[in-house]
Amino acid sequence: MLDADFFRRWMTATAASVDREAERLTALDSPIGDADHGSNLQRGFTAVAAELEKEAPRTPGAVLTLAGRQLISTVGGASGPLYGTLLRRTGKALGEASEVSEDQFAQALRAGVDAVMTLGGAAPGDKTMIDALVPAVDALGDGFAASRAAAEEGALATTPLQARKGRASYLGERSIGHQDPGATSSALLIAALAEAHGE
Amino acid sequence: MSDAKASERLVGIVLVSHSAQVAAAVAELAQGLAGGATAVPIAPAGGTEGGELGTSAELIAAAAASVDRGAGVAIITDLGSAVLTVKALLAEGDELPDNSRLVDAPFVEGAVAAVVTAATGADLAAVEAAATEAYTYRKT
């Protein structure tokens, strides 16, 4: 079973990972974006970690809802409402339970990913965070390590794609040949999930 | 009596841009072109709280609260994170005043149409329709 402490560890592991990888994320965002993805997410997840320490929410749902709200408030770029919606919807789907099963979490995360697709209008293959998140959710039934591998593979597979959403889509064919920064940070989020689970 | 009072309440307008200067200037432009006869409540929410290019959920929520007169709030945005942030706030349910709406409209033309229409005392649906209709005006 997964408790509030597990979800707090997930968020703090994500904050540490985004902190380590911020320069790489921003570098990926330079040729096809506006070179702020790393610093935006760094600001967002640092705020999430600080808020979780201050508020200490007691249920898995409350941890993720608070984290999502904090991202929407602090990121300042499109990744704020997108990741914020992902975590908040996942948190809401977990309800008030003090512990959730891995199956319940997988279902809730799928609801979160669906909400991101509705908000941003992206589908798999559009060269977005969805290209890492959908394979991650699909693989979650096989465990957290499998989910992490699927997310990383999904992020790498965005390189040959042409962007169809967001600022990178203005570049048309010139977006081909670059790994998508959003899919890359989504893979970090899922890797942190496996890390929080001790894998 | 209360009906007459209700009809005097004007729809509020919020302009969300990645740039504080763009949001403020378009607000000023729209008010100027509306003649300024009736004070339509309008508030810019531009850039981040730190004064950089971007979108601030806090600034949007504060702007919407400041123009809410009980007749609804029309929110007009530029692109990308401005659109997504407003949608995310609307999905939250309690961050924006009741009857706040993201209006699908071109930023400058839509703002002018919305302010001119709101100045007549039109309701939120009419303000939204006028702003959206600005898409259909061709320049060539």
User: Could you tell me the CA-to-CA distances from B92 to A65, A82, A154, B124 in Å, in that order?
Assistant: 10, 13, 29, 21
pTM: 0.91
* Among A16-25, A61-70, B47-56, the least confident range: B47-56
Quick one: average pLDDT of A124-147? 97
Q: Do B81 and A80 touch (CB under 8 A)?
A: yes
Query: Rounded distance, CA A140 to CA A145, Å?
Result: 8
Query: Rounded distance, CA A127 to CA A180, Å?
Result: 6
Question: What is the residue-level pLDDT of chain B in tens, covering all 140 positions?
Answer: 444 444 579 999 999 999 999 999 999 999 998 886 568 999 999 999 889 999 999 999 999 999 999 999 999 999 999 999 999 999 877 889 999 999 999 999 999 999 999 999 999 999 999 999 999 999 99
Query: Rounded distance, CA B116 to CA A148, Å?
Result: 53
Could you say which DSSP state residue B11 is in? P
- Give kind and range of the element (H or E) at residue B58: helix B57-67
Are the C-beta atoms of A180 and A168 separated by less than 8 Å? yes
Q: Do A81 and B84 touch (CB under 8 A)?
A: yes
Query: CATH classification of A2-196, choosing from 1.25.40.340, 2.60.40.1180, 3.40.50.720, 3.30.565.10?
Result: 1.25.40.340
Query: Rounded distance, CA A108 to CA B36, Å?
Result: 50
Task: Give the start-to-end residue ranges of the domains of chain A.
Answer: 2-196
* The pairing of beta strand B42-46 with beta strand B73-77: unpaired
Q: Which residues of chain B from 77 to 106 reach within 8 Å of chain A, CB to CB?
A: 80-81, 84-85, 87-89, 91-92
Quick one: average pLDDT of A12-30? 95
Say what the pLDDT of residue A123 is.
95
* Mean pLDDT of chain A, nearest integer: 95
Classify B79 as helix, strand or coil: coil
Three state DSSP letters for chain A: CEEHHHHHHHHHHHHHHHHHHHHHHHHHHHHHCCCCHHHHHHHHHHHHHHHHHHHCCCCHHHHHHHHHHHHHHHCCCCHHHHHHHHHHHHHHHHCCCCEECHHHHHHHHHHHHHHHHHHHCCCCCCCCCHHHHHHHHHHHHHCHHHHHHHHHHHHHCCCCCCCCCCHHHHHHHHHCCCCCHHHHHHHHHHHHHHHHCCC
Q: Which residues contact B98 (CB under 8 A, 6 or more apart)?
A: none
Write the residue in A77, A80, A85 that is nearest to B91 by C-beta.
Answer: A85
Q: Do B57 and A73 touch (CB under 8 A)?
A: yes
Q: Percent of chain A, pLDDT > 70? A: 100
The identity of residue A128, as a single letter, is: T
Name the packing angle between helices B124-133 and B107-119 (round to 10°): 140
Chain A residues inside the 8 Å CB shell of B80: 77-78, 166-167
Q: Do B88 and A72 touch (CB under 8 A)?
A: yes
A41 touches chain B (CB under 8 A): no
